[in-house]
A = this chain, B = another copy of it.
Amino acid sequence: MDRTIVDNQQDDLQKKLQNILKRTGPLLSSCPIRNILDRFSDKWSTLSIIHLGDAGTLRFNELKKRIDGVSQRMLTVTLRTLERDGLVKRRVYAEIPPRVEYELTDLGRSLLVQIIELGDWASNHSQQIIQARERYDTRERNVVMAEL
């Protein structure tokens, strides 16, 4: 038993990776993993989940105010999708003027954990990425200049 914790973590990751690859079959459209990763595709999904996770419950316009730059249309579309996927719960109150409240479901909260970890990674590595971009762009510019 000379396996370290790091070894076991590696094994764990390796196993998960194989599982993902197995599930990423030739039928890309029906791939369940792709399907969920696509939730990260649109900018607003992640931000909506983050803000709902932070605030607990929010009305439509409260959420809209928090997510800078989102149009009404896109927030509506985003919330519908999240609701359909069972990540967000929508509660309508029969009042005038109408009141609609949104909050995360248990499933949504478990996804929030993943998003936070991802955001944390991004936060911790953004500097490295920005520097890499600058290096790359400088190199490009030099090549272009050499061609002139």
A17 touches which of B24, B46, B50 (Cβ 8 Å): B50
Q: Does A16 contact B (CB under 8 A)?
A: yes
- Chain copies in the assembly? 2
Bits for A106-143, please: 1 = Cβ < 8 Å to B, else 0: 01001101101111111101111111110111000000
Chain B's nearest CB lies how many Å from the CB of A34? 7
Name A's interface SS: helix
Can you pick out 10 interface pairs between chain A and chain B where the beta carbons lie within 8 Å of each other? A20-B50, A23-B123, A32-B122, A33-B119, A34-B43, A35-B126, A35-B129, A36-B121, A85-B132, A107-B132
Which A residues are closer than 8 A to B by beta carbons? 13, 16-21, 23-24, 26, 28, 32-38, 40-43, 46-47, 50-51, 53-54, 68-69, 83-87, 107, 110-111, 113-114, 116-123, 125-133, 135-137
